[in-house]
Amino acid sequence: MTKKKTARVIRMSQEDWLARAVELFGRDAADWAFVCPSCGQVQSVRDFERFAGEGATPDSASQECIGRYDGHARSEMLSGDRPCNYVAYGLFNVCPVTVVLPDGRESPRFGFAIPSKKPEKA
């Protein structure tokens, strides 16, 4: 068995993370988009608005695969199904980003998606 290279996790402060999001997608947080590290699903904060009644929050897009809300809840992580039921705060952390919160706690996050367009100048 070949030795698998461990993926690098980027650690950043919440302030830097928010600044990076604005830089990539603009000030409207609904446009911020992330990639599920388990299945590759690209999802924006806006995609979760329709699931607010089921407990989705603006943070869901960077921490929960939308499969948990859209009927794919049985699609296990790393099964190849997309979207899946992965969450960043679950048993397995495969997230590429760790955000260090102001109180020192660490919050694993999905990586940012590649923006489809340049954000409008704020």
Binding site for Zn ion (CB under 5 A): 36, 38-39, 41, 65, 83-84, 86
- In angstroms, give the least distance from the CB of 23 to Zn ion: 25
What is the closest distance, in whole angstroms, from the C-beta atom of residue 20 to Zn ion in the complex?
22
Burial class (CB in 10 A: 0-12, 13-18, 19+), 96: middle
By beta-carbon proximity to Zn ion, the closer residue of 45 and 84 is 84
Helices and strands counted in the chain (H then E): 2, 6
State which residue, 26 or 39, has the beta carbon closest to Zn ion: 39
Those residues whose C-beta lies under 8 Å from the C-beta of residue 105, and which sit 6 or more positions away, are none
Through-space distance between the first and last CA atoms of the chain, rounded to whole angstroms? 51
Shortest CB 98 distance to Zn ion, Å? 18
Are the C-beta atoms of residues 48 and 58 closer than 8 Å to each other?
Answer: yes
- Say if residue 85 is exposed, middle or buried (CB neighbours under 10 Å; 0-12, 13-18, 19+): buried
Nearer of residues 41 and 62 to Zn ion, judged by Cβ: 41
State the minimum distance, in angstroms, from the CB of residue 40 to Zn ion: 7
Whose Cβ is closer to Zn ion: residue 26's or residue 47's?
A: 47
